[in-house]
Structure 1
Amino acid sequence: MTTRRVHTFCRICEPGCGLVADVRNEQVITLQPDKDHPIHKGFACHKGVHFLHVHNDPNRLDRPLRRTNPRHEELGNFVPIDWDDAVREIAEKLMDIRRRYGRNALAVYQGNPSAFNGTYYANAASLARGFDTRMRFSAGTQDTSAKYAASEAIYGASMAHPIPDLLHTDYFLCLGSNPLVSHMTLLHISDPMAKIRAVKKRGGTVLFVNPRRIESSGPDTGDVLQIKPDSDFYFLAAILHEIVFRIGYDRPAVEKHARNIDGLLDFVRGYPVERVTAATGIEADVIRQVADDFCAAPTASIYMATGVNQGRQGTLAYWMLNMISLFSGNLGRRGGNIYSRGMTDVVHNSKRKREDPFFRDSLGEVRTVGGDLPAARLPEYIANRDDPIRALIVISGNPLLSVGGAEGMRRALEDLELIVTIDLYRTVTGEMADYVLPATDWLEHEDVNFLNTMGVAMEPYVQYTPAVVPPRNDRRDDWWILSRIQQEMGVKTMLDSPDPNPLANADAAMRDAGLSLERLKEMPCQTAVLPEADPSHVFTIAVQHDDGLIDCCPAIFRRAYRTVEDILEELSNESPDQLKLITRRTLYMVNSWLHNLPILKQGAHQDNPLWMNPDDADRRGLVAGDDVIVHNRHGSIDAILAYDATLRPGVVAMTHGWGQSSARGLDVARRYPGVNVNRLSPNGKEGYDILSNQSHLTGINVEITRREPRSPR
């Protein structure tokens, strides 16, 4: 009995770590880090290695299912249906709904895993056009759209993201990220903690800014500056104020690459360190010292992630971050923040179409970011009488858990005429669906690390993987499922070709790098290492404004100036007893998936506890293990209190992605359901940043009370 070895890569988070699979009789026997990989060199975290538990999970979907009972019943009854009948029935219902309500009666929601699926992501634009609807939503407005919107305004392209040059920097300022756990976002780098430790080893400085003393910090990396949640914008604005009004900057050098400098100075003038100390919880002298150290370092880089994005001012925080890099002389400089071209110039495809992206629709003035409307308003679009959504297709997503205001979302979904989910599992969203369609996992289809090559890779490379094993039973690729539905609707698709190739767009993109799929297949690990990033490409490639200049003070940001002042006043005058809820990433959950793996249900992580500083608990007469109610004006949830002395006093934390109690198709997740923290998040018009459609999911005001035992009947 022979065993063959297949070089492949993980598609759970952004590094795309190299893996090697041993296969016998078309079954994956082992999945291990690939020691031969030219970039990752044997590094992979436990999540990728444990993906074999997902692949072999008996709860995986194997065939299309059709619902037989009304959606208002919480648990669905489903029966198998063959593919031809499923896609025909779905297409007929979609066409009927659109005849009655118009083209925008169909909405599409795209989840996070689809971005790591090259066969889908490389064709996402054409698949979206095939459904011909403006009602597009995605998990992007739950995690990264703040950055996309900011870059579109500053650089003229939503995909222009100067990344910290961790391989050469002398000072790394890292906000709202826990690299040991999350492995970073919009920054693709192998073994990020090794790179961060290397900064310290070569005599540099690393400073984390976070409400919690995160696992990434320590003697071999750097300290944590514990900031109040949702105040990062003011911290960054004060640092920029120090640079431009006290430390000094090279104005001619900035003018060479940027415009609207005076507009920026006028704005930042309003945020000296003394004015932001109460809001941030950081003393003025400490902020000044950070600014001094950043500017005194031979090179300095700066980065922010989801912990900042998901606040109310993630877009403006990213604006300040980029201006700090520019005015300190570190933008476009080796060791500073640089643009990594990868295999092709993706910024051209994300160039801003107009200066003011807002338009009016049935809900008033809105915009799209990367084509997506704010997911926080999806329930309103469904309920809108003038132009209602009546059908929803969900691609590898779980909006019932991922979007704020779960109860409002559930009521809205109950009102739809048709829901179709495409996923590995029947999740809580799938439990409400009319059709649940089984997708392949990433061991079952060929792929290219398409996302990893698109401008944010510190160590750029491109890798091909064949399907490690054939799809089990009736599982199909996402692109195939959507194309079959569109075929039945009379839309031309890839499947009309006698030899459909979902990687054709990726193959074409490689030509700029002198590569092709066929060449990759012949290379060791099917991987080609691309040239090191050229720091000057920030200015020569990333900037896409017609005049070739960075906009230091985009006009669109003025829409938020009043909000900036209102939030500053609110934070500065808040009661010292006010508790702020943040999202805590753990090694045992990734968003709302990996929820069905017994191996990841360990200790306190079998549940979704409320983490609280012991001093905060003591002041409230609470102890670890207490049943508590976490509540605010948006909702209420029950949780078990657990101590976490690493939290800044006044801050509590819970993990995103729990709450699968009604997912009858998920045995483990239903046994350990936890609670959905997004029940406490605002939704609707107040639930997102108008500049970016980014949902407000962290730094949320809550109250905590002990839950009294229920009286026996």
Structure 2
Amino acid sequence: MAQIIKTDCGLCVNCCGLDVHVEDDRIIKIEGTKEHWLNAGSMCPKGEHLMDWVYSPNRLKYPMKKVNGRFQRISWDQAMDEIAARLNVLKEKYGSHTLMLWTGSVGVEHIEMSYFMQRFRGAFGSPHFYNAEGICFRTRILARQMTFGRCPAEEPRNSNLVILWGNNPDASYFMNGKMIRERVAQGMKLVVIDPRRIPLADHGIYLQPRPGTDCAIALAMMNVIITEELWDKEFVDKWTSGFDKLTEHVKAYTPEQVEIISGVPAADIKNVARLYATTDGSCILEGVCSTNQQINGLQTHRANAILQSITGNVDVPGGWVTTPMLPLTDMRLPVEEKPLGAEEFPVFYQFGKRPAPYGSSSLLTEAIIKEKPYPIKAFINAGGNPAVTFPDTKRFMEAMKNIELNVCIDPFMTETGELADYVLPACTFLEETGVGGFPYCLSHCTPYVMLRKKCIEPLHESKAVWWIYNELGRKLGYEEYFPWKTDEEVVEYLFSKSVIPYQKLVDNPEGRLL
């Protein structure tokens, strides 16, 4: 008889609830968890094809080493021994900073992977940990930190007006798309600002700007709000500074002038600005990359944060809300050297007391190619495919030619894996126990956590990413930093300093809202 295991999906930051039906150590069906607070039984197309992904014939089945341009099967012992030996040689020759680690996830979808990578680089003595967030989401985080001191999250479920600004939830955050349709039917107002007319544009006011002119539109909205004295005077007087300078700055951005810049009629800009400013509980939902991967991306996000501020839509129901986060045990080890970009982009690296966990990915390829400030000769990638996703693919491929040890950890052979000297098969999130849910609260303004449960044993010879770094650390002589033997030991350690103990997650398989 099949067993139903309640877990969550690790494919993206939404971490939807899943009911995984298992019989004889094989998954026979996957459904959305009906009682889950977020997805309520629904699944996106990727979730609906999870079984195809787990049981794909294209899964990496065993460790492989490239010999004369072709991959050959080797054992895990051989792979760990040889990689550790080559790392020691490179460290002796070039110093510990010769090692660079890359991951496709900052640790939201896969906390253990990110934490163990950062722990490993610290034990090795390298400052180099980089990931995709450094070239996408970091801009939004930094803009909100610069404006508020922390990074508040949107709370659209309680909004009376939502502005989808470069955000297409039907394609990326499907629960938000469903929720917005339900709320519009209940009377919520909707504005869509996007060069593409997305389906939700049919449910509200639609502005179609020229790409890259979003910041100008935001400034024009401020111009209208300030000129017509629609700002929240009590909030601005009590909680903000620099309003006089802002007033002076936005004078040049009249709706008529911005119509020339953006192509959006001045009358439409005025209409949206008035509607936004006079509706309590208004919320701007920005796209993850659409509004930040442009020349003035940071300033665009700052402008939107200021719009939320001058209308008093901060820390109120339906606005942007500063939420609690669940602290997990910090597994990082101190490193004296700083990563790439710490000197060139000091605000990017550290705004406030705590530095970013990663360096500036934009400097990665040039540092490898030019060997400045020093030679970087070892590259270990886990859960990412920078050969495809990194800006300027050709330049990245050229950089990889200068790497003397290239290791790729992934459930599948990727374009980045094809360049590697060693490829190591990682198991999927359904084959290991870990931290589930989204305790960082950046997606839905609702921090929650659950135990991500192992549903089946790892297929073929695949291993959990944490185990690979743990074992490699032990091979290098760092046993004191890598004492763990099981998934459960790792998760229990991560929650050892948390207000929610590990056992409570075991006893509450559906998860906990914080």
Distance in 2 (CA, whole Å) between partners of 1:498 and 1:48 is 30
Q: 1:130 to 1:276 in 2, by over 3 A?
A: farther
Which amino acid in 2 is paired with 1:168?
A: N
Q: 1:518 to 1:35 in 2, by over 3 A?
A: same
> Where does the alignment leave 5 or more consecutive residues of structure 2 unmatched?
333-339, 351-355
After the TM superposition, which residues 153-232 of structure 1 pair with which residues of structure 2 at under 5 Å, given as runs?
153-157=146-150, 160-163=151-154, 165-183=155-173, 191-218=175-202, 221-232=203-214
Q: 1:106 to 1:282 in 2, by over 3 A?
A: same
Aligned partners of 1:453 and 1:462 also within 8 Å: no
TM-score in terms of structure 1 length: 0.66
Task: Establish whether residue 100 from structure 1 lines up as the match of residue 93 from structure 2.
Answer: yes
Which amino acid in 1 is paired with 2:195?
A: P
Distance in 2 (CA, whole Å) between partners of 1:486 and 1:173 is 47
Q: Secondary structure, in 3 states, of the residue corresponding to 1:259?
A: coil
After the TM superposition, which residues 406-421 of structure 1 pair with which residues of structure 2 at under 5 Å, given as runs?
406-421=393-408
Offset of 1:263 from its aligned partner?
3.7
After the TM superposition, which residues 227-246 of structure 1 pair with which residues of structure 2 at under 5 Å, given as runs?
227-246=209-228
Distance in 1 (CA, whole Å) between partners of 2:405 and 2:235 is 57
Q: 1:58 to 1:490 in 2, by over 3 A?
A: same
| Alpha-carbon displacement from aligned partner over 1:369-400 (angstroms, at most 9, x marks no partner) | 62333323322011123412111111111111
Distance in 1 (CA, whole Å) between partners of 2:226 and 2:125 is 48
Distance in 2 (CA, whole Å) between partners of 1:358 and 1:9 is 35
Q: Secondary structure, in 3 states, of the residue corresponding to 2:159?
A: coil
Q: Secondary structure, in 3 states, of the residue corresponding to 2:367?
A: helix
Q: Name whichever of 382-391 and 124-133 sits farther off.
A: 124-133
Distance in 1 (CA, whole Å) between partners of 2:322 and 2:346 is 33
Distance in 2 (CA, whole Å) between partners of 1:46 and 1:385 is 43
1:517 match: 502
Q: Secondary structure, in 3 states, of the residue corresponding to 1:419?
A: strand
Q: 1:259 to 1:492 in 2, by over 3 A?
A: farther
Which amino acid in 1 is paired with 2:44?
A: C
1:368 match: 349
Aligned partners of 2:118 and 2:129 also within 8 Å: no
Q: 1:44 to 1:494 in 2, by over 3 A?
A: farther
1:58 match: 57
Aligned partners of 1:64 and 1:436 also within 8 Å: yes
2:293 match: 310
Distance in 2 (CA, whole Å) between partners of 1:142 and 1:358 is 12
Distance in 1 (CA, whole Å) between partners of 2:481 and 2:31 is 34
Aligned partners of 2:121 and 2:128 also within 8 Å: no
Q: 1:411 to 1:121 in 2, by over 3 A?
A: closer
Q: 1:273 to 1:147 in 2, by over 3 A?
A: same
Offset of 1:214 from its aligned partner?
1.1
Task: Establish whether residue 469 from structure 1 lines up as the match of residue 462 from structure 2.
Answer: no
2:353 match: none
Q: Secondary structure, in 3 states, of the residue corresponding to 1:307?
A: coil
Q: Secondary structure, in 3 states, of the residue corresponding to 1:239?
A: helix
Distance in 2 (CA, whole Å) between partners of 1:68 and 1:135 is 28
After the TM superposition, which residues 303-382 of structure 1 pair with which residues of structure 2 at under 5 Å, given as runs?
303-305=285-287, 306-344=289-327, 359-360=342-343, 367-368=348-349, 370-382=356-368
Distance in 2 (CA, whole Å) between partners of 1:85 and 1:46 is 39
Alignment coverage as a number of residue pairs: 497
Q: 1:492 to 1:396 in 2, by over 3 A?
A: same
1:401 match: 388
Offset of 1:344 from its aligned partner?
4.9
2:490 match: 502
| Alpha-carbon displacement from aligned partner over 1:427-475 (angstroms, at most 9, x marks no partner) | 0110000010111101100122254444543344322132000111221
Aligned partners of 1:15 and 1:452 also within 8 Å: no
Q: 1:277 aligned to 227, 243, 259, which one? A: 259
Aligned partners of 1:62 and 1:475 also within 8 Å: yes
Which amino acid in 2 is paired with 1:430?
A: G
Aligned partners of 1:446 and 1:467 also within 8 Å: yes
Which amino acid in 1 is paired with 2:153?
A: P
Q: 2:75 aligned to 82, 98, 101, which one? A: 82
2:336 match: none
After the TM superposition, which residues 375-454 of structure 1 pair with which residues of structure 2 at under 5 Å, given as runs?
375-386=361-372, 387-449=374-436, 451-454=438-441
| Alpha-carbon displacement from aligned partner over 1:283-308 (angstroms, at most 9, x marks no partner) | 22211111011012233111211211
Distance in 2 (CA, whole Å) between partners of 1:404 and 1:479 is 28
Aligned partners of 1:122 and 1:505 also within 8 Å: no
Offset of 1:516 from its aligned partner?
2.2
Q: 1:493 to 1:238 in 2, by over 3 A?
A: farther
1:67 match: 66
Q: 1:426 to 1:148 in 2, by over 3 A?
A: same
Distance in 2 (CA, whole Å) between partners of 1:240 and 1:490 is 58
Distance in 2 (CA, whole Å) between partners of 1:174 and 1:499 is 43
Distance in 1 (CA, whole Å) between partners of 2:484 and 2:452 is 23
Q: 1:37 to 1:456 in 2, by over 3 A?
A: closer
Q: Name whichever of 438-447 and 384-393 sits farther off.
A: 384-393
Distance in 2 (CA, whole Å) between partners of 1:449 and 1:33 is 15
2:111 match: 118
Q: CA RMSD in A?
A: 2.6
Q: 2:125 aligned to 111, 129, 132, which one? A: 132
Offset of 1:6 from its aligned partner?
0.9
Aligned partners of 2:147 and 2:306 also within 8 Å: no
Distance in 1 (CA, whole Å) between partners of 2:136 and 2:201 is 23
TM-score in terms of structure 2 length: 0.90
Q: 1:222 to 1:12 in 2, by over 3 A?
A: farther
Distance in 2 (CA, whole Å) between partners of 1:454 and 1:509 is 19
After the TM superposition, which residues 239-254 of structure 1 pair with which residues of structure 2 at under 5 Å, given as runs?
239-254=221-236
Which amino acid in 2 is paired with 1:417?
A: E
Offset of 1:63 from its aligned partner?
1.1
